[in-house]
Amino acid sequence: MSRVCQVTGKKRMIGNNVSHSRRRTKREFAPNLKTKKFWSEEEGRFITLKVSCNGMKTIYKNGLAETLKRAEAKGLIKIV
């Protein structure tokens, strides 16, 4: 699970570089992932997640606990 957002599930995509002469070569579109610590009020500790910037926006909007519940329901993370 190296290049996957733990909140949104975004992962790398494969596409083409297209030159001026329209030659196509394979390339990778990587998500904008950051390793970030979030403070959990319920647990009283920091939780480290690998999230995309869109995932951070979701956490700030919905709250950490609610976002983690939704991510666990999708099967993106496992909470112990």
3-state secondary structure the chain: CCCCCCCCCCCCEEEEEECCCCCEEEEEECCCEEEEEEEECCCCEEEEEEEEHHHHHHHHHHCHHHHHHHHHHHCCCCCC
Class of the CATH-defined domain 13-74: mainly beta
The residue ranges of every structural domain in the chain are 13-74
**Given this model, what pLDDT does residue 2 score?**
82
Query: What is the pTM for the complete model shown?
Result: 0.84
**Given this model, what pLDDT does residue 1 score?**
52
List, in order, residues 6 or more apart from 13 with CB less than 8 Å away.
28, 29
